[in-house]
A = this chain, B = another copy of it.
Amino acid sequence: MAQKSRILLVGCGGVGTIAALNLEHGNKAEVSCVLRSNFEIVNKQGFTIRSCEHGDLTEWRPSQILDRVPDVTNSGIQPFDYIVCCTKNTPDIRPIGQIIAPAVSPNHTVIVLIQNGLNIEKPLMAQFPQNMVLSGVSRIDAHEVSKGVVEQKQRDLLYIGPFPSQPHDAESLRKSALYFIDIYGAAGRTTCLYKPDVGYDRWAKLVYNATLNPVSALVDLNTGELQMTSVVDTLVIPAMKEVMKVAEAVGHKLPDEIIEETIRSNPIEKMITPSMQVDTQMGSFIEHENLLGEVCREAQRFGVDAPILSTLYSLCVAVQWRTKKIKGLINLNGS
């Protein structure tokens, strides 16, 4: 049997823990997980997992549990073949590149970003020009409901593909993506597919993530409650149309039906609380830069008018400032 791939997985919330499980269960990888807020409890008693794909697991542990990203340069640590990032992406607070830098071996480690949003690969490509970067777009509904306890209510569906415009040959990029997919799906429990048109899937998700997600956060109403107000018609759908206009200018024509589909996949009765609303309720930072700010910057770059998105983005910037202030990260004396 071939040697197992060495994988470092950063961010073991809902999505990350299920990813670690898939990667370990195929028996083709050994996964080192970097935990932060849940390190103590998981190190002591492992993960508790209730999953529609994996069943109920107690005391589940990946190959290794770490409380920080290891430094591969000055120790006997073998290089990692893949670093899989499943953290929240808040470049305005702490960029991913800064977090994973000690574990990246140039010309070797492939970076996989299972994260939402636009242009998330750009800072990593700039910081690690010798490393390939793969996109992971996940349709899973998995959450860490309490520290170390993960619930997966919806089947995993992960699209993997290389981000465009990398200084690496296409065949190497394709191979590194296909090999990751092989490892991820090896246990045969989940669906992980090769999708080279990374941009399309990312823009398609932004129809939700740049509109319903921040609106829910700003007014503290979930997607079901929002649909009981007039605001879906007066604000959310016009905002979705702006996302589609920007997407088209960038080169991704989304079908008109995506608006209705996006709303239908958040039915009133499910009362789904989007991630940014969960974050504001918890007093956590929001991911507005890559979900909304980058859409506004692309709009500006391509000369597309997107005043609703710009307004929502500015309000999110203010909300993030408030969270920083509450966390004591703003110097109110201005010195």
B234 adjacent to A322 (CB under 8 Å): no
A79 to chain B, nearest CB (A): 41
Decide: A215 and B318 in contact? CB cutoff 8 A.
yes
Instruction: Report B-chain residues with C-beta under 8 Å of the C-beta of A225.
Output: 321-322, 325
Q: Once bound together, how far apart are the Cα atoms of A310 and B322, in whole Å?
A: 24
A310 and B312 CA atoms in complex are apart in Å by 12
Instruction: List the number of copies, as a whole number.
Output: 2
CA distance A321 to B332 in the complex (A): 34
**Nearest B residue (CB) for A324:** B229
In the assembled complex, A235 has its CB within 8 A of some CB on chain B:
yes
Interface-central residue, A226, A230, A314, A334, by most chain B CB under 10 Å:
A314
Interface contact A229-B311, CB-CB below 8 Å: no
Q: Output the nearest chain B residue to A310 by Cβ-Cβ distance.
A: B234
Would you call B308 and A226 a contact (CB within 8 A)?
no
Q: Are the CB atoms of B221 and A314 closer together than 8 Å? A: no
Q: With A and B bound together, what is the CA distance between A106 and B133 in angstroms?
A: 77
A278 sits at the interface (CB 8 A): no
Proximity bits, A216-227, B CB within 8 Å = 1, else 0:
001111000110
- Inter-chain contacts of A315 with B (CB < 8 A): 215, 218-219, 231, 235, 315
A256 to chain B, nearest CB (A): 21
